[in-house]
Structure formats: structure tokens, C-alpha cells
Amino acid sequence: MLGKNIKIYAGTSGTTPVIAMAKSAVIHSKCDLIEKASATNATSKEFVAGREEWDVSLNHLVSSEAPVDGLLKVRNTYTLRVIISNNGSNTTVLQGTAICEDATITGTTGNLGTGSIKFRGSGPLLPPPSGT
């Protein structure tokens, strides 16, 4: 997956670019481990998988098409899609709802603006329903 193909969209139609041309992206997921009691195994711990969580961090260029105020809306909820672009065709492979928890824009005179943004998942990150 190329960074230039990672995009986040907003708005009811899902066509207004908020972040385009990601330089790097990290999707992190983990689950809590719950220790279970075992009457037959007193010397070693045993675990079962508990609740899971995920987050997405992006470093990006600030697109001239993107409204700057849209890049800094912490506390807002977004639908995030992990998209694979292949020969102009986009396929959503994972999607979930996330809250923007941190956003930064940096710029220096004469250079492109850059930014970083972090989303915390609210609910599962799953393949999309059929037909979407």
C-alpha cells in the first residue's frame, strides 16, 4: 500500500478529503489478556483473550483541497476505512468508527505543511458489510 493512496474522508457523502497523501500510517490493535484459574495447573499462568482496542496514527502532507479546520477537529467521530488502491480501483478492506484524539499541523515558510493525527477506535475494526 502506498502512502499516497491512504486517505480519510468526511462529510455525509464521504467525498470531502480531510487528509490526503499520507506519508506514513500505523494501525495498531491489541487485546487485554485475562488470567484464568486452573485447578490442574498451579505453576503456570493461563490466559484467555479479553476485549480488544485499536488506534490509527497518520503523518501526512496538508492537501490544498482539505479544509484546515477539518484537520484539527479533535473529539469528532469519523468512519475510517483502510483502502487498497489498485489501478484506480479502491477496495475497502477494513473499516471502523474512531474518535480523533490528537491532531497537529506544522508548517514552515516556503514548504508544504505537514501534520499528524491520531484516532482511537470506538468499537470493532472489521471488514465492511457486503455491498459497501
**Element of type H or E holding 68:** helix 68-71
Domains identified in the chain, total number: 1
Domain membership flag for residue 75: yes
For residue 99, which of 50, 59, 54 has the smallest C-alpha distance? 54
In a domain? residue 72: yes
Which domain covers residue 81, as residue numbers? 3-31+45-121
* Range with the poorest average pLDDT among 56-60, 83-87, 126-130: 83-87
Question: If 0-12 CB within 10 Å is exposed, 13-18 middle and 19+ buried, where does residue 96 land?
Answer: buried
| pLDDT tens string 73-112 | 788 887 777 766 667 677 777 888 888 899 888 877 877 7
Residue 39 belongs to a domain? no
Residue 37: inside a domain, yes or no?
no
Checking 84-90 for CB contacts under 8 A at 24+ apart, the result is 84/1, 84/5, 85/1, 85/2, 85/5
Residue 40 lies in a domain: no
Asked if the structure places residue 130 within a domain, the reply is no
CA distance readout (Å), 63 to 5, 40, 75, 101: 13, 60, 22, 21
Q: Is the pTM of this model over 0.75?
A: no
Share of the chain above pLDDT 90, in %: 14
In a domain, 91, yes or no: yes
